[in-house]
Amino acid sequence: MSTNTAGTDLDELVRAVEDRNPGEPEFHQAVREVLAPLGPVLERHPEYVKARILERLVEPERQVIFRVPWVDDGGDVHVQRAMRVGFNSALGPYKGGMRFNPDVTLGTIKFLGFEQVFKNALTGLAIGGGKGGADFDPKGRSDDEVMRFCQSLMTELYRHIGPDQDVPAGDAGVAAREIGFLFGQYKRITGTYAAGALTGKGTGWGGAQVRTEATGYGLVYFVREMLAGRYEELDGRTVVVSGAGNVSIYAIEKAQALGATVVGCSDSSGALHDPDGLDLDLIKQLKLTERGHLGAYVERRGGEASFEEGATPWRIPCEIALPCATQNELDEKDAKALVKGGVRVVAEGANMPCTDEAVAVFQDAEDVLYAPGKASNAGGVAVSAFEMEQNASRNGWTFENTDERLQATMKQIHETCRRTAAEHDHEGDYVAGANIAGFLRVADAMLAQGVV
Ligand code: NDP
Ligand code: 2IT
């Protein structure tokens, strides 16, 4: 990381972030990645240095941590920890998902909130960055248990959110069912139908069309733009996706619709390989309806399909790899295996799924394009912002209109990253392009709004 002449030593700033936020390696990793290309940018903009924009950016505006007690179906009491981090509101109300996973810590939520600030800036929409979550494991829990947990969580969270303040949505472990329960309790406590306080609602009661599909579809639209830069198309390409959740399923759906063959995916139990192309209806049945594991696919599908317990899908040869499961799920060895297997495009559907070392492998490889999640997975939050717009105007858009706007947004984000990288001597580097472009938009707003 280079030192700029105008007074901010970026290495020192990273060390200060590490010292000030001990035990939060994912947050440190996210900060390192964003700061890496900013040295020359700060040299061009001494006003950012004077206003200590970076020092303010790495410190969340606010963090709320609270206890969530709930009672399971057998009458036992459980105590969870939940949190919501409002990272930056220069561009709009805090916006970002809620994650329910037993591994959730404040460090996880801070890394996700920090990423969200720049992702949301890239969309060009009026949304600040935030994130929340709880160390609750929804796996194996009944709908009633999930409802009681969501109601207990919202009984505290409600006082911190609102359409102009902070607007949560889904993330891993939180989708339509959870958003429904959260919204119901919010409505009951506040006595208002403030639809714009949460996004990802059901389409029959204030939710945007395409929000469920948006992250996965948007990811594939972004890949389409990456390929178009090389005069190539998705049609006929071989794709491997990781995960089998919300992002993965709709990435598979759109990739297939555009003519690609998706030969692999995974879940927390292992990796599935189907050389004939995945049967997406069967995967939806297993993962969305039965909420089970992918292993059952092999017996029910027959043919050449195979399932490897505990494995990642990165040994399956493919031209396009879409990591869509979780952070740091793809390491250096996986990256080398993908390059050896002929990968030419890697685009992140998850947030920070590739380790620093894996990213370096892709960036050093000849002829491999790599897109960071804050650019390629921004379709979900973009359609969330469309949902806020519709709620504010008490209006509803059609599926086709929303999908068209999603496509236009992903195209714009791709072009912004490409152009910004080229303007800053990082031709073809989507990481530098995304981080510099996101930073510039937030920094200018912060500068204009004074020292707050
Ligand atoms: P889901 O909970 O719907 O799905 C996650 C999937 O990943 C599941 O299939 C899960 O397996 C699998 N998985 C989780 N951890 C691991 C692991 N350690 N190894 C292998 N597989 C794993 O989450 P989403 O699809 O919503 O989110 C996935 C990623 O995308 C996250 O990083 C999230 O932050 C990011 N994202 C999500 C957006 C959204 O709109 N939902 C928007 C932008 C980014 P199992 O089914 O067995 O639990
Ligand atoms: O990581 C993400 O961008 C999300 N989970 C979506 C956030 C949102 O507010 O829709």
Pick the CATH number of 62-193 from 3.40.50.10860, 3.20.20.210, 3.40.50.300, 3.10.20.30: 3.40.50.10860
- Give distance in angstroms: CA of 379 to centre of ligand 2: 9
- Residue of 354, 343, 312 lying closest to 115 (CA atoms): 354
Pairwise CA distance, residues 105 & 194, whole Å: 29
Strands 238-241 and 320-322: what pairing? parallel
Atom of ligand 1 nearest to the CA of 169: 40
Q: Do domains 62-193 and 214-367 have the same CATH topology?
A: yes
Residues with beta carbon inside 6 Å of ligand 2? Answer: 95-97, 116, 119, 169, 171, 199, 351, 380-381, 384
* Cα(162) to centroid(ligand 2), Å: 16
Atom of ligand 2 nearest to the CA of 167: 9
Which listed CATH number (1.10.285.10, 3.30.300.170, 3.40.50.2300, 3.40.190.10) goes with 1-59+429-452? Answer: 1.10.285.10
Residues forming beta bridges with residue 373, ordered by sequence position: none
CATH, domain 214-367, list 3.40.50.720, 3.40.190.10, 3.30.565.10, 3.40.1710.10: 3.40.50.720
- The C-alpha atoms of residue 31 and residue 249 are separated, in whole angstroms, by 29
Distance set, CA 269 to CA 164, 310, 355, 407 (Å): 40, 5, 21, 33
Residue 119 alpha carbon, nearest atom of ligand 2 = 3
Would you give the DSSP letter of residue 208?
P
User: How far apart are the CA of 131 and the centre of ligand 2, in A?
Assistant: 8
Give yes or no for residue 108 CB within 6 A of ligand 1: no
Closest ligand 2 atom to 200 CA: 10
Residue nearest to atom 14 of ligand 1 (CA): 325
- At residue 15, what is the residue type? R
Ligand nearest to the CA of 167: 2
173 lines ligand 1 (CB under 6 A): yes
Section 358-381 average pLDDT: 98
State residue 433's pLDDT score. 98
pLDDT of 32: 98
CA dist 235 and 177 (Å) reads 34
DSSP codes of every residue in 36-63: GGGHHHHHH-HHHHHTTHHHHHTS-SEE
Q: What is the rounded distance in angstroms from the CA atom of residue 372 to the CA atom of residue 349?
A: 8
3-state secondary structure (DSSP) of residue 439: helix
User: Taking residues 190-214, what's their average pLDDT?
Assistant: 98
pLDDT at 4 over 80: no
Whose Cα sits closest to atom 31 in ligand 1?
A: 350
Cβ of residue 185 lying under 6 Å from some atom of ligand 1? no
Q: 3-state class of 85 per DSSP?
A: strand
**pLDDT value of residue 435:** 98
Other Cβ atoms within 10 Å of 230 Cβ, number: 11
- CA nearest to 377, candidates 350, 411, 359, 356: 350
Best mutation site among 171, 329, 374 for ligand 1 pocket (most ligand atoms within 8 Å of CB)? 171
Return the number of other C-beta atoms located less than 10 Å from residue 28's C-beta: 19
The domain spans of the chain are: 1-59+429-452, 62-193, 214-367
pLDDT at res. 326:
98
Mean pLDDT of the 445-450 span: 98
Average pLDDT for residues 326-347, to the nearest whole number?
98
Whether the pLDDT of residue 3 is over 80: the answer is no
Question: Which atom of ligand 1 lies nearest, measured to the CA of 312?
Answer: 20
For residue range 94-129, list pLDDT tens digits in order: 999 999 999 999 999 999 999 999 999 999 999 999
Q: State yes or no: pLDDT of 5 exceeds 50.
A: no
* Mean pLDDT on 215-244: 98
Burial pattern 153-181, b for ≥16 Cβ within 10 A else e, equals: bbbebbebbbbeebbbbbbbbbbeebbbb
* Summary mean pLDDT of the chain: 97
Mean pLDDT on 189-199: 98
Q: Is the CB of 200 under 6 A from ligand 1?
A: no
**Tokens, residue 138:** 């929804």
Given this model, what pLDDT does residue 7 score? Answer: 56
The strand pairing partners of 168, in sequence order, are 96
In the reported structure, the alpha carbon of residue 120 is separated from the centroid of ligand 1 by a whole-number distance in angstroms of 19
* C-alpha 188 to ligand 1 mean position (Å): 30
In ligand 1, the atom with minimum distance to the C-alpha of 327 is 32
pLDDT band for position 8 (50/70/90)? confident
Q: Which of 297, 326, 413 to mutate to test the pocket of ligand 1 (most atoms within 8 A of CB)?
A: 326
Catalytic positions = 131
Is-contact 335 354, C-beta < 8 A? yes
Residue pair 347/376 in contact by the 8 Å Cβ criterion: yes
For residue range 25-65, list pLDDT tens digits in order.
999 999 999 999 999 999 999 999 999 999 999 999 999 99
**Among all ligands shown, which has an atom nearest to the Cα of 266?**
1
Ligand 1 contact, 334 CB (< 6 A): no
Distance from residue 126's CA to the centre of ligand 1 (Å): 26
Distance from residue 169's CA to the centre of ligand 2 (Å): 6
From the CA of 382, the nearest ligand is: 2
Length of the chain (residues): 452
